[in-house]
Structure 1
């Protein structure tokens, strides 16, 4: 057992399996819903980037490569100044939703290089231009561009030409849970000497102006003990000490809003949040700051002139122990030791037969996932009823965004989709995050899933919160599926499945399943609605908006997701029942519900026999229902509901087996739909939403390069619609949709995500797992042509393996040492210092593979780590069979 595994084992025994210190600081707090106290719910304009350096936050903190304790009482991060910018680089810059031509967009270059689950070793790289950071250039150029044009990125501005930038490498290595060594290496990548000012910053999250008065807590305090030591005293956290190299300039101020600058109101103190910024850049109040020896924000200031190709290093230490020699001989050794332990940990996790490049892709994906842990604080009742000291409490706010979620009181560390673009949890994103997390820390993965179902998240009626912009939106119900994935990953690793975890999740998921049944099946016919279901602009119109009061949209994906949900809950109940027979009845209940949903999907108008595809159906009284013949993943979600039951299960669960037999006989006798298929030898039973003939038809479309199959995976919308856009006229309004492989050209949900052609990792992962499950049942008895039209037939397991290979090509180095996801920026990533850097985008261009959307959505894109593991397990080349026609095979 490695040192990191021993630490994880100790954490697993805690009630909350969380390290006291970790990367819990957000990359962006401004522009979030939590900080929005406007009457018109305009979060981006109420708290814009330009206010962030001089205005205290209410619900959290942000910084570059930041760390904090798990209550975010005390924070540390790195600020920089190149001598030309008008503000310190204290946080990452990006465009608000109204500024970017494709919605919000971070405009920085940073990379999460390494991390371990206990955060005993962490490394993050930030690239800082030596020229003035092009804030206005980025705003102006993106403002001019239309949605039909690509985004204007930082690398397009020219500030990184001739390597005129600094690599700022931030490394953390823990001596213990509460004793952290910090190293900041600043390398001049240019050829000539360039100046840089580095400000390691320690500060307290400002609760004293809001929470402290009510709780009668003392205001925390940073105080100079001697030159090189600052003590941080906090009532809850205790005392910590920041040890830093002696320097001429060191400044204390308060983490409080500069009201004079923002609102023309007198400041209570000259020591405001931006006082250090003003002193360093504009020489304002320098003498006052130099005399100040206390505050709630502190920075020592290091001014360097670094020759081209050279590196300067700053070492610090944050500890709860008072010591005389914090940088003793063993200081450098702790970094080497923790790096060695991290290498040993990942050597045990990553496949030994994978290439070094693939291991690097996996390790950075998992590092990014771990860096995405964020302290998330949001008490909606408080947020609606109390102002932030700037805006007024109003009836509009009390009845505005999320006012129906007064029970929601979140204060936890959660896995975020992206700590800049999406620094808030999303229910279905989190379900995917937990799968790669289970590879390295299954205890934390299980904790995250359970947390989302706790009473301070789940609504009393059973609805799970979607995301902070609208908790009432509906995300796909993938949590039972995710729980099973996590369960089996841990069981495979340890040889033991956590039945108690399944029981805890199962009990809560039954409540959520009931909410779906009561709220999203308005006609009681097992055809479900759900709105956009996380797929933003996948529909011809916004599926979350009712076009007309009498119209109903019956959704193929809503129905399929619910069929999958019922089957997942049945699988959970079966797994538990093998240990606790009292769960056997619930397995039967969800099996029968699955059958009814499968019947509805197949026989109530969602299947089009001409196209061999499932479609949404729009109905209105007195009119013939309209099948919305859009060939998208909406129609492919039917593949996700698949389960294989072994004979030994049927033998052990006699009542379950007896009930299935009775139900089958009854339905067949009465000419009703039946979704089961038994293996020839009777060893396995297949449960699927789609009968075999429909399965083959869907799969052949799925693996057609003229439709869904791209070089980099499965597209969200068929390429068929490139030459054949779909249009429908609804009450005089024409709606249309076409194949759109890149950035979104619509405004749905902010216009920052596109499901009309790109490749999305979570959907590809679901498809691959489903095809593998079908292959497990059919074994070699079913082959399909792959790709369609090639004349080459493969078993389904081989098809799944080939899909994984296509996805991996998005990330791995090709024969020219380029990565497809970097696209036109491979010139930059071909530089020696950048060749191993990988970004984990939100989605990928359906034609070129270029990375799009959030550049650091290592949450669900970290699924690539699990897929590479699966690929490594399938090292044998695919065995191609002689081409057969379907008729010959059948």
Structure 2
């Protein structure tokens, strides 16, 4: 962004951050919601991370690689953390972190079992707000585990709200709000609202602590000497850490409420409790739990010093009323004269106004009030899901000098990623079920981020292509369970889209494009060398994100022997290729050195597309059905696996419309292109290869011919196949009555349409692609259809929906899919939104009505939310879809 008088205040802060004038993003919601059960914390022999470091152990055991907490924040290096701890007087444990099922406990994989919502945030986190709903009855930890463990995979998950614990409003709404007076001056308000009809007691502990960096026996970067928190006077704590400096944490005295008791302990493992070993200190991590829940007054340090501290409030909250606690954290050099004078509330109100002004400027004005709420909360979830992520594979493999070494039976995951050292703020899918990055998810996150924080979007892409992330062989890391897994290559598309979307006043960041392009060359080469098994431009990339959509587990050897020719793997590479061509042509317009590499990608795209269409006679195209399938090759005999799924739809993504006037200014590329088209008609016969639209002077590169595109679209736009009332299904509904069955010896491999959760454990677990609607691939499809329309215009019409008699151009088709996707979040006359499923609270209860969850995926028939319930990352694409629909409504 460029500094000018027209910038709103938040945009000015973003500019100051980019220009390194002020460190506005030093503090943010970067604290994980679950650090236990992660690969990083797993030093077991068998690699069972869920069992090695459990939720039960988390309150007593110091983390090695990160921290977690409830509605919390920390600095961008995860050194000093703040979060809430709560006790309702009846729970068996002090609630310091979110609870959920481990991967082996639920009937559909890991699942958070709490009710919490992200309500607001600016990109610099100058203002943030979130809500946690805390039951006043005993939290049903055991029941949630037992009920879900006993459910079959044919049934849905048993959620907290299904226990009846929120009936009669017997709960607290707990709001955490943060406002920055300056980059290192953070104002905090905790508001506790009693929704029940009776006075209720809440123990509130706004807890501040230092990440444990001193117990591991290491020295050097990120392994500092032990920091300190000490009580000074009048509700004021002094916090000291060698790289962070000195901070003050101040608590405001409250009228008519007893002053809090200050509790201190160490962020150290309770080794005596967990392992029967000697504790490093009498005061350990779970001291506050022992003090509050077990009444052990000697558990906390009477000297009022340690590395973990909290004021302890015992709040009696009358029925239907609320109590607010105010705190402030600031660097000594930015200390306010009076922490809690009238300026405190004025700053909060000012930041709230600035947040409103920012989004009024950046959100489409044509949206109705509910649509604007959806967009705001989608962006809030996206911003709150940024996390400090620390993982040094070399240190993890070696173990720490003061701790037992990592001793694994068999292969150790990530052992060939010894160069990888991550210690950054990263956009996460969510911070509970996915407290680790997933690279292909990230590409979609950044499309949404590009609207509100373009610099963050670009810097994330650059980060993942840096040498301490990318493997020396060129592969981009996938996710911490296995960095070598094969994710769909969406990062190139994200780089190209972010480049174009962040252009301002005709200025495009060519330095950014050149930086990412150079690194993507390495990744492209890795794909070509590692995933083209036969060397014939047909790719087999493994499961490619769509975990259990196919006949076989594509990440494992095939039970038939032979190899799989993947329609989506090959199409993703064609998409990669044509995206790199578009980038190279853009860079060549100003630097002729890029013309040669543009020619390489032009010819490579044609080779891949030709292979899809012609190898073995018809390639991966099935002329009988008019669809692209995976083909199984055994003993030189190829058989199509006739599963109509997104595997065959991904083929449509690889389409690019090129400007012929640009190409005319690139003589080297133009000459080679014309020679190729004239002399290699054998490889351009069955694809859309540089077809020219006379009216627009555009050229089209795409895998299918116009006729094949028409045939695929007949399936896509059939409501008995892919077209759901709420978007495009991942598997055709045709397979509900017609399951695909492939026999191997005495075993049957089946694929059948399931609109909701998977009933199979094949590879995916909680991730299910056998019918539901996923926002990421719907979004890419919408963009692809717009590109086809950009070329064909009104000369290409298709019936939509099939059988309706209604003819549409491809832009209208794209809009129809967008409108169906947005229905998931739009209420009917009774206030019910499809994503809510059977939950009536969100439609009728005034304390739930405007709250939203952004699920991982959605039922293919009725649109209700499924999977991870806070995966705002790629489902935040709803913000862009709604805004696009709003603009189109305004034009019409």
Q: Does 1:29 align with 2:43?
A: no
Deviations 1:438-496 (A, max 9, x none): 000110000001111111111000011110111111001111111111111112x5432
Separation in 2, partners of 1:109, 1:58:
28
Greater shift in the superposed pair: 738-747 or 8-17: 8-17
Verify the 8 A CA contact 2:47 2:408 in the aligned structure 1.
no
Task: Establish whether residue 423 from structure 1 lines up as the match of residue 435 from structure 2.
Answer: yes
1:881 alignment partner in structure 2: none
Matched, 1:470 2:498: no
Select which of 278, 289, 301 maps to 1:277.
289
Q: CA deviation at 1:654?
A: 2.1
Q: Confirm or deny that 1:46 pairs with 2:60.
A: no
CA drift of 1:579 comes to 2.6
Of 484, 499, 513, 2:496 maps to: 484
Matched, 1:234 2:241: yes
**CA-to-aligned-CA distance 1:555-602 (integer Å, 9 cap, x gap):** 000000000000000001111112322212111110110000010011
8 Å contact kept, 1:122–1:171: yes
Structure 1 counterpart of 2:352, from 339, 342, 353 = 339
CA distance in 1, matches of 2:57, 2:505: 50
Gaps of 5+ in 1: 879-890
Picking from 218, 222, 229, the partner of 2:225 is 218
Secondary structure of the structure 2 residue equivalent to 1:824: coil
1:229-268 counterparts in 2 under 5 A?
Answer: 229-246=236-253, 247-268=259-280
Instruction: Tell whether the 8 Å contact from 1:37 to 1:388 is kept in structure 2 after alignment.
Output: no
Residue range with higher mean Cα deviation, 659-668 or 192-201: 659-668
- Cα distance in structure 2, aligned partners of 1:796 and 1:672: 24
Match of 1:581 among 581, 586, 592: 592
Following the alignment from structure 2 to structure 1, what is the Cα–Cα distance between the partners of residues 247 and 269?
25
For residues 772 and 57 of structure 1, do their structure 2 counterparts lie closer, same or farther at Cα, with a shift above 3 Å needed?
same
CA deviation after TM superposition for structure 1 residue 248, in Å? 4.1
2:851 maps to 837
Secondary structure of the equivalent of 1:569? helix
Aligned-pair CA distance for 1:828: 4.2
* Equivalence for 2:712: 698
Correspondence for 1:158: 164
1:389-446: CA deviations, max 9, x gaps?
A: 665432537x411111111111111000110001101111111110000000110000
Q: Paired residue for 2:256?
A: none
Q: Aligned runs of 1:778-857 on 2, under 5 Å?
A: 778-857=792-871
> Offset at 1:780?
1.0
Report how far residue 255 of structure 1 moved. 0.4
Secondary structure of 1:291's partner?
Answer: coil
1:268 shift after superposition? 2.5
Cα displacement (A) at 1:11: 1.6
Alignment of 1:101-180 (within 5 A): 101-180=107-186
Deviates more, 1:653-662 or 1:129-138: 653-662
Q: In the alignment, what sits opposite 1:884?
A: none
1:668/1:674 contact within 8 Å kept = no
Q: Please tell me the root mean square deviation across aligned C-alpha atoms, in Å.
A: 1.7
| Secondary structure class of the residue paired with 1:345 | helix
Distance 1:601 1:669 in 2: 14
Q: In the alignment, is residue 516 of structure 1 matched against residue 522 of structure 2? A: no
Specify which of 722, 730, 743 is matched with residue 729 of structure 1.
743
- Aligned partners of 2:610 and 2:683 also within 8 Å: no
Matched, 1:434 2:446: yes
CA distance, structure 2, for counterparts of residue 272 and residue 420 of structure 1: 25
The CA deviation string for residues 63-90 of structure 1, in whole angstroms up to 9 with x for no partner, is 0111111111100011111111111111
Pair 211,646 (structure 1): closer, same or farther in 2 beyond 3 Å = farther
Q: How does 1:702-721 map to 2 (within 5 A)?
A: 702-721=716-735
- How many residues are treated as equivalent by the alignment? 874
1:740 pairs, out of 746, 754, 758, with 754
1:80 is matched with which residue?
86
Query: How far off its partner does 1:674 sit?
Result: 4.9
Decide which of 537, 545, 548 is 1:537's aligned counterpart.
548
Partners of 2:380 and 2:25 in 1: CA distance: 16
Question: CA offset at residue 17 of structure 1?
Answer: 8.4
3-state secondary structure, aligned to 1:524: coil
Partner Cα distance (2:357, 2:540) in 1: 48
Question: SS at the partner of 1:231?
Answer: strand
Map of 2:539 onto structure 1 = 528
Q: Using the alignment, how far apart are the partners of 2:495 and 2:260 within structure 1?
A: 54
**Farther off after superposition, 291-300 or 713-722:** 291-300
Cα distance in 1, alignment partners of residues 684 and 161 from structure 2:
64
Q: Match for residue 326 of structure 1?
A: 339
Q: Distance in 1 between matches of 2:480 and 2:602?
A: 34
Residue pair 2:178, 2:187 contacting (<8 A) in 1 also: yes
User: Does the 8 Å contact 1:615/1:635 carry over to 2?
Assistant: yes
Counterpart in the other structure of 2:3 = none
Deviation of 1:212 (Å)? 5.3
- Return the match for 1:359 from 368, 372, 396: 372
Q: Given the alignment, which residue of 558, 575, 580 partners 2:569? A: 558
Partners of 2:288 and 2:8 in 1: how far apart?
A: 43
Q: Which moved more, 1:315-324 or 1:765-774?
A: 315-324
In structure 1, the partner of 2:62 is: 56
* Equivalent runs, 1:278-317 vs 2, <5 Å: 278-284=290-296, 286-287=297-298, 289=300, 291-317=302-328
2:101 to 95, 101, 117: 95
Determine helix, strand or coil for the equivalent of 1:547: coil
Corresponding residue number in structure 1 for 2:506: 495
Look up the SS of the partner of 1:874 in the other structure.
Answer: helix
C-alpha separation between the residues in 2 aligned to 1:455 and 1:630? 39
Change (3 A) 1:656 1:682: farther
Separation in 2, partners of 1:144, 1:653:
65
Instruction: Find the counterpart in structure 2 of residue 602 from structure 1.
Output: 613
Distance 1:502 1:742 in 2: 40
Aligned to 2:414: 402
CA separation in 2, counterparts of 1:670 and 1:217?
61
* Distance in 1 between residues matched to 2:380 and 2:675, nearest whole Å: 51
> Which residue in the other structure is 2:643 paired with?
630
Q: TM-score, normalised by structure 1?
A: 0.96
For 2:428 and 2:771, the matched residues in 1 are separated by 25
Alignment of 1:173-188 (within 5 A): 173-188=179-194
- Cα distance in structure 2, aligned partners of 1:424 and 1:807: 27
Give yes or no for contact 2:191–2:323 (8 Å, CA) kept in 1: yes
Give the conservation status (yes or no) of the 8 Å contact 1:212–1:219: no
TM-superposed deviation, 1:214:
5.7
Q: Could you tell me how far apart the structure 2 residues matched to 1:334 and 1:212 are?
A: 42
Equivalences for 1:173-212 in 2 at 5 Å?
173-210=179-216
- 1:370 aligns to 2:376 (yes or no): no
Residues 760, 843 of structure 1: 8 Å contact kept:
yes
Instruction: Give the Å deviation of 1:277.
Output: 1.0
1:129/1:683 CA distance change after superposition, 3 Å: same
Query: Helix, strand or coil for the counterpart of 2:205?
Result: strand
Point out where structure 2 has 5 or more consecutive residues left out of the alignment. 1-6, 254-258
1:70-127 Cα deviation digits (max 9, x unpaired): 1111000111111111111110000000111100000000011000110000000110
